Amino acid sequence: MQALGGLVVPHQYNLVDHFLDRHLKEGRGDKVAIISGPRRLTYRDVAREVNLVGNSLLRLGVQEEQRVLLVLPDSPEFVSTYFGVMKIGAVAVPTSTAMRSTDYAHFLDDSRAKLAIVHSSYIPEFRRALAGQRYCKNVIICGDPVQGYSHWDEFLKDASPELEAVQTCKDDSAFWLWTSGSTGKPKAAVHLHRDWVYCCEYYARGILDIQSQDITFSSSKLFHAYGLGNGLMFPFHVGATTLLYPEKAKAKGILETAESGRPTLFFSVPTLYAAMLQEAEQRDYDLRSVRLAASAAEPLPAEVFRRWRNRFGVEILDGIGSTEVLHIYLSARAGKVRPGSTGQAVSGYELRLVDDAEQEVPVGAIGDLMVAGPSTAQRYWNRQDLTQSRIRGRWFVTGDKYTVDHDGYYWYAGRADDMFRVSGQWVSPIEVECALIEHPCVFEVAVVPFEEDLGIHTPKAFVVLAPGYVAGLELAKELKEFVKQRILPHKYPRHIEFLPELPKTAAGKILRYKLRQISRRTSRSFADGHDIDKNSVEST
């Protein structure tokens, strides 16, 4: 047996026993577990639905360790499918709802899923991925019926509401989560039945002090590791309530839902926090129920932290995690936030900052972040070389660069492939972005290297303007001078391009590699003497 902060994880362990069935045994069956629009589901309701799904999967011949692909919005159906798959010993594979047919074809091929459960909203794209499929033999449709496919109601019809969890081992595969990094096709991080309890104990309890009376609300979706912890596993760990939002995360809708749903713990990403602050200027939103907010996916600018705290009276705890380590392992603490810092190591996780030779760097120096912790994925599926490169014994190479101060506070310096040198000195895109975001005209910003003549690099900023500002040469000059007054002059952006929006993943993470591609194309235009884009402003 393995002790875990008061929780004992036996060798024979199925996570559904702990996160769901335990609540019925301990008298919480009538507690509301899920709020989804007008629907209110108790833990007993969820357990019954999970058993229906599990028995229906068995009836279709799904066996232990086989994968089941989920393409579902945040909904009770997602929850019952996710738990139902793992309860019978199969492997749940949550998948983004914002992908293209070629992506879904890759997911189906790589996972060799025998069955997929898909919401009707996504079937037009998903259907094209099924052409020529060797593995997927069944597709179950949630939502509206679709001709040629079995519907959810038919799938569950006549299934028994009673089901005992398969006696899996704590080290058995339970679920996969897709991670893409900056390039290449998504790969699957293979997680075990035991992994979630560590995140729940070390972060959800240790940092957020989550309790059974809490209501959680996450703008990040359940198919994403960050959202899956926030919106399902954390509340189900302690018998709390989750507020699910199936729609695309937009500032107005998220604020309205938070206002009416009265969550106590609120999770989002920096881009959306900034957008919500803009929306809050249009009308007042009552978020007094929220006792604590959390942020991940991108570094939280100090200015966004300050504005949010001033507007809503709530701290945002910035943190960094990864799909491979499952959730946040470095976080700010309530009452101890240093704006602009990601905080300190979460208890239960070890951090190192190393140089290219994997020797620890001194305090204040930029190093590559490595993390060791018990929730780290077993491996990447069918990616042995990448597994050996990124998972080195108990250490995971995050690909993030940081500095740490004498108090143990970590300061983000960019991704390993985002850092670049100007005049022989390292430039952190994040530092330039944090300076730019303090200007009132800047709504969002991302900085990437721009290749000048002779191959040297200088910073280029892609800026989304706040309402009421007009792009132009004078504004670009003003922004450059603004940055020069705040950070070392060699770091100021020599080029500024105004965009209507920044490219992002479904989880709200900025796709910097796309901006680097745009920057390279623009660079060639300069070199070739062609006209540049009308929104791009060259420095003088």
pTM of the entire structure? 0.85
Positive or negative: CA dihedral 332, 338, 339, 340: negative
Of 349-358, 364-373, 420-429, 468-477, minimum mean pLDDT range: 420-429
The phi-psi region of residue 61 (left if phi > 0; otherwise alpha if psi is between -120 and 50; otherwise beta) is: left
The C-alpha atoms of residue 420 and residue 519 are separated, in whole angstroms, by 14
pLDDT at 523: 44
**Residue 188 near residue 111 (C-beta atoms within 8 A):** yes
The C-alpha atoms of residue 420 and residue 63 are separated, in whole angstroms, by 49
pLDDT at 539: 37
CATH number, domain 418-538:
3.30.300.30
> Average pLDDT in the 25-35 region?
98
Percent of the chain with pLDDT over 90: 79
The C-alpha atoms of residue 300 and residue 404 are separated, in whole angstroms, by 17
pLDDT at 271: 83
- What element of type H or E holds 523? helix 512-528
Mean pLDDT taken over the chain:
91
- What element of type H or E holds 410? strand 410-415
Using pLDDT thresholds of 50, 70 and 90, give the confidence band for residue 139. very high
pLDDT at 454: 61
The C-alpha atoms of residue 229 and residue 14 are separated, in whole angstroms, by 17
Of 17-21, 377-381, 507-511, minimum mean pLDDT range: 507-511
The strand pairing partners of 192, in sequence order, are: 173
Where do the domains of the chain lie? 13-191, 194-417, 418-538
Give the pLDDT confidence of 246-287 residue by residue, as tens digits: 999 999 999 999 999 999 999 999 889 988 999 999 999 999
Nearest Cα to Cα of residue 492 among 422, 393, 445, 440: 422
Q: Is the pLDDT of residue 332 over 60?
A: yes
- Asked if 13-191 and 418-538 have one fold, the answer is no
Tokens 């209110």, residue located:
40
**Residue 219 near residue 267 (C-beta atoms within 8 A):** yes
pLDDT at 382: 95
Nearest Cα to Cα of residue 74 among 280, 270, 261: 261
**Residue 71 near residue 122 (C-beta atoms within 8 A):** yes
Nearest Cα to Cα of residue 218 among 191, 251, 192, 254: 254
| Overall residue count recorded for the chain in this entry | 540
Largest distance between two CA atoms of the chain: 73
Using pLDDT thresholds of 50, 70 and 90, give the confidence band for residue 521. low
pLDDT at 486: 86
CA 416 to centroid of chain Cα atoms: 19
**Neighbour count for residue 448 (Cβ, 10 Å):** 25
pLDDT at 489: 82
The strand pairing partners of 187, in sequence order, are: 179
More confident of the two residues 5 and 56: 56
Q: Is the pLDDT of residue 530 over 70?
A: no
Q: Which distant-in-sequence residues (6+ apart) come within 8 Å of 121 by Cβ?
A: 73, 97, 143
Q: Is the pLDDT of residue 531 over 50?
A: no
> Average pLDDT in the 44-68 region?
98
pLDDT at 508: 79
Nearest Cα to Cα of residue 409 among 328, 310, 307, 338: 338
* 3-state class (DSSP) for residue 90: coil
Using pLDDT thresholds of 50, 70 and 90, give the confidence band for residue 455. low
Of 310-314, 427-431, 507-511, 534-538, minimum mean pLDDT range: 534-538
The C-alpha atoms of residue 428 and residue 483 are separated, in whole angstroms, by 13
Q: Is the pLDDT of residue 16 over 50?
A: yes
Q: Is the pLDDT of residue 86 over 70?
A: yes
| Amino acid in the structure at residue 326 | L
Using pLDDT thresholds of 50, 70 and 90, give the confidence band for residue 426. confident
- 3-state DSSP helix/strand/coil percent for the chain, to nearest 5? 30, 25, 40
Using pLDDT thresholds of 50, 70 and 90, give the confidence band for residue 124. very high
Tokens 């705290």, residue located:
309
Name which CATH class applies to 194-417. alpha beta
CATH number, domain 13-191:
3.40.50.980
For residue 166, what is the DSSP state?
P
pLDDT at 26: 97
